[in-house]
Amino acid sequence: MPIIKPGDFEDARVKALLTRHLEGMHANSPPGHVFALDWSALQRPEISFYTLWEGEDLLGFGALKELEALSGEIKSMRTADEHLRKGVAAAILEHIIAEARRRRYSRLSLETGSGPAFEPALMLYRKYGFLDGGAFGEYQRSSFNQFLHLELDAPRAERRSVTVDQGMDRQLRQRMLAYYDERAPEYEEAYTLGTGTASIPDPEAFKADARTLEGIVAREVRGRAIDLACGTAYWLPHYAANCSRITLFDQSDRMLDEARAKASAQGVLARCELVRGDFFDHDFPRHSHDAALVGFFLSHLTEAQERILFDALRTLLDPAGRFLILDSAWTPERAKFNSKTERQSRRLNDGTPFEIYKRYCDRVDIVRWAREQDVTLRIEHFGPAFYAVSGRFGRKPRW
C-alpha cells in the first residue's frame, strides 16, 4: 500500500528522481522557459514537498507552494519512470488537492509546458477539474507555457469572511465604513473643492483630474450599468443619459440618500435601483450588467480584497461587458505627502476624527491586474491625483 510522506532532501533516491525531473524539463522546454524548482529551491518555508513510497521504492513526488494565504501552486510533479501508468501522479495530485482544501485555499494553479511531453500530465489535471486560465504570480505567458486553475469549493461566504479581513484589521474597516456614512453630505467637496483627502495640498490637482474623469465616465459607462460603492453617485450625471438601467450599490444609508436625491434631480430615478449592501456579502446576479463603474473603492481594499472585486466584476458583467476603475494615483507628487499604503487620518468638517485604509496604485499595479486577472485593460488617464482604467474580461467589446 503506497504511502505519502514529506520528502527527505537528504535521501539519495529523492535527489536522484529530482535530478531526473529537472533533466526531463530541460529536455522538453527551450532554455529560459523551465520553472521547475531545483533541490535547494524546494526547501523553502512556503513549499510542502511530498513523496510517494511503496516500501523502499520511491514512486514519485509533488510539491505545493503557498502563493498567498488563500491560494496555492502545484510544482514539481514527477513519477519515477518504472512506475508510470500506475496512478502515482493521481495519488499525489489527490493528496495536494486535499491539503489545499484543508488549508481552505480558494484556488490551486499550475504552470506547465506545451508539447507532446506534457500531454499526459495535462490530461490528468483536466480530469481533476483544472481549467485553462491566465498567468498567475510572477509568470509571464509565452508560447512555451500554459496555466491551469482549479477553483476549490470552500463555502464562498466562509472564504470571503477570511479574505475580507486580510491585511486590514476589523476595527479599521468598521471605522472606515462609518466615516463614509458620516461624510456623505460633504463627500463631494473632494471633487468640487479639492479638499478633505489628507493628501496633495493643492486643491487644483483634484479638481482638474476630476473634470478629466467626468469626460471618461461619459464615454465609457453605458447600457445596464452598476455603480459599485457608488457613494453619492457623483458620476451619475455624466453617464445616466447612456444607460437603460442603473444599479446604485453602497453600504452607507446616507450615501444612498445623497445618491437618490441626485438621481431624482437628474430625472433618472425611475431607471435606478438603489441597493444597500456590503460588497463582500453580496451575491451579484450573473451577467446582469453591461458596464460597471468602480469609483474610488479599490484604493480602500487590500490586495486580497482586490481579487474579490475582480471576481465580482467577472460574475456580474455580461461577457461583452466593460468596467471602468477610477481611483487615486500613486505619483511622485503624491509620494511627497503619503505612503503608498497607509492608515490615513481624516476629519469631517466639524473636526470629528476618523481613520481609513488607503492603497494607492501605480502603473505597475495596473499591469499586475492585467496579468493576474487575465483582463484587457486600457489606461484612459493617469494624472497627478487620479487615474481611470477601462477593462474587459471577454474578447469582443460591444462598443
Ligand X SMILES: C[S@@+](CC[C@H](N)C(=O)[O-])C[C@H]1O[C@@H](n2cnc3c(N)ncnc32)[C@H](O)[C@@H]1O
Choose the binding region for ligand X from 5-13, 135-143, 275-283, 360-368 (rule: CB under 6 A).
275-283
Q: Work out how close the CB of 184 gets to ligand X at its nearest, in angstroms, rounded to a whole number.
A: 7
Q: Residue 255 interacts with ligand X (CB under 6 A)?
A: yes
Contact 389, 378 (CB under 8 A): yes
Q: Residue 18 interacts with ligand X (CB under 6 A)?
A: no
Q: Residue 280 interacts with ligand X (CB under 6 A)?
A: yes
C-alpha R_g of the chain: 25
Q: Work out how close the CB of 108 gets to ligand X at its nearest, in angstroms, rounded to a whole number.
A: 27
Instruction: Say which amino acid occupies 177.
Output: L
Choose the binding region for ligand X from 51-59, 136-144, 249-257, 390-398 (rule: CB under 6 A).
249-257
Q: Residue 231 interacts with ligand X (CB under 6 A)?
A: yes
**What is the torsion angle, in degrees rounded to the nearest 10, for the CA atoms of residue 366, residue 375, residue 70 and residue 165?**
60
Show the cell assigned to 131: 481549467
Q: Residue 62 interacts with ligand X (CB under 6 A)?
A: no
Q: Work out how close the CB of 254 gets to ligand X at its nearest, in angstroms, rounded to a whole number.
A: 9
Contact 137, 67 (CB under 8 A): yes
Instruction: Between 254 and 371, name the residue whose CB sits nearer to ligand X.
Output: 254
Q: Residue 252 interacts with ligand X (CB under 6 A)?
A: yes
Rounded to whole angstroms, the Cα distance separating 369 from 363 reads 10
**Where does 55-117 show beta strands of DSSP type E?**
57-68, 71-79, 107-113
Show the cell assigned to 262: 441626485
Contact 309, 294 (CB under 8 A): yes
Buried b (16+ CB within 10 A) or exposed e, 101-131: eebebbbbbbbbbbeeebeebbeebeeeebe
Q: Work out how close the CB of 173 gets to ligand X at its nearest, in angstroms, rounded to a whole number.
A: 8
Choose the binding region for ligand X from 35-43, 240-248, 251-259, 317-325 (rule: CB under 6 A).
251-259
Show the cell assigned to 177: 465604513
Rounded to whole angstroms, the Cα distance separating 28 from 145 reads 11
Q: Residue 357 interacts with ligand X (CB under 6 A)?
A: no
Judged by CB under 6 A, the chain residues 320 through 339 that form the site for ligand X are 326
Q: Residue 298 interacts with ligand X (CB under 6 A)?
A: no
Q: Residue 147 interacts with ligand X (CB under 6 A)?
A: no
Binding site for ligand X (CB under 6 A): 177, 180, 229-231, 234, 250-252, 255, 278-280, 295-297, 300, 326
